Amino acid sequence: MESGRECMAPGCDAPGEFRAPPLEGPPSGEGPRGWRWFCLDHVREFNAGYNFFEGMSADEIHDAQRPLSGWERETRAFASTGADRPPEWADFADPLDAIGARFRTKVQRSRNDGKPLSDRDRRALQVLGLDTDADRSMLRARYGALVREYHPDRNGGDRSHEKALRRVIDAYQHLRHSPAFAG
């Protein structure tokens, strides 16, 4: 016997390798009730005769089978730093609406013209100091103004603004190729 257990079926001395639901009745002593252990043939026999709903009333069976069974209570979050807060489930009738709302606000934010903006697009617009509804001409004009402000050739050789200039150039290069600013 490899598992160290015998099949619990009367008269069977095969190894009890397969677990079945615990024995009925109150737990004996400390801890939960123990599992039943059967050989393959007897666990198949047990499963064929097992009825989860046995002893339940029609209303209890209906409650256990309804589509949203278990959704009426809010679950505990694993961790939250406050930066990316999950939606309040109580605000939604359908759990999938809550998931979709979170997806729409996080990933698919769009401009007034309907073009989607990614988080990277939004960060680049912030670097340039532009509104989300800026167009290509506003983008070019703001880029030119910031380059003139930060470039060492335009401000007496002052190289203290090199990092800011690099961020402006990177932001402009990203937005130039972004679908939100496609021409």
Predicted confidence (pLDDT) per residue in 118-142, tens digit: 888 889 999 999 988 888 899 999 9
> Does 88 reside within a domain?
no
Q: How far is CA 17 from CA 33, 34, 35, 44, in A?
A: 18, 14, 11, 12
Kindly state whether residues 65 and 123 are assigned to the same domain: no
Largest CA distance in the chain: 98
- Residue 27 to residues 34, 35, 53, 173: CA-CA distances in angstroms? 8, 11, 21, 68
Residue 109 domain flag: no
Residue 54 lies in a domain: yes
Answer with the one of 9, 43, 69 that is the final residue of a domain: 69
Q: Which of 13, 41, 69 is where one domain is finished?
A: 69
Residues 2 and 60 grouped into a single domain: yes
Kindly state whether residues 59 and 4 are assigned to the same domain. yes
Q: Tell me the residue range of the domain where 64 lies.
A: 1-69
Asked if pLDDT for residue 59 goes beyond 50, the answer is yes
Q: Is 64 a domain residue?
A: yes
Higher pLDDT, 173 or 68: 173
Residue 1 pLDDT grade (very low, low, confident, very high; cuts 50, 70, 90): very low
- 74 vs 83: CA distance, rounded Å: 20
Quick check: is 34 in a domain?
yes
Which residues face 110 on adjacent strands? 116
C-alpha to C-alpha distance for 133 and 42, rounded to whole angstroms = 69
Question: Any idea what the CATH number is for the domain that residue 143 is in?
Answer: 1.10.287.110
**Residue at token pair 């200039």:** 165
Residue (of 126, 130, 136) closest to 176 by Cα position: 136
Structural domain includes residue 172: yes
Same domain, residue pair 120 and 177: yes
What's the confidence (pLDDT) of residue 168?
A: 93
Tens digits of residue pLDDT in 20-38: 887 665 555 565 667 889 9
In a domain, 101, yes or no: no
Structural domain count, the chain: 2
Considering the domain boundaries, does residue 123 fall inside one?
yes
The first and second tokens of residue 30, run together, are 């400390």
Alpha helices, DSSP H, located in 72-135: 95-106, 119-128
The DSSP output letter for 25 is: S
The answer to whether residues 109 and 102 touch, using CB atoms and an 8 Å cutoff, is: no
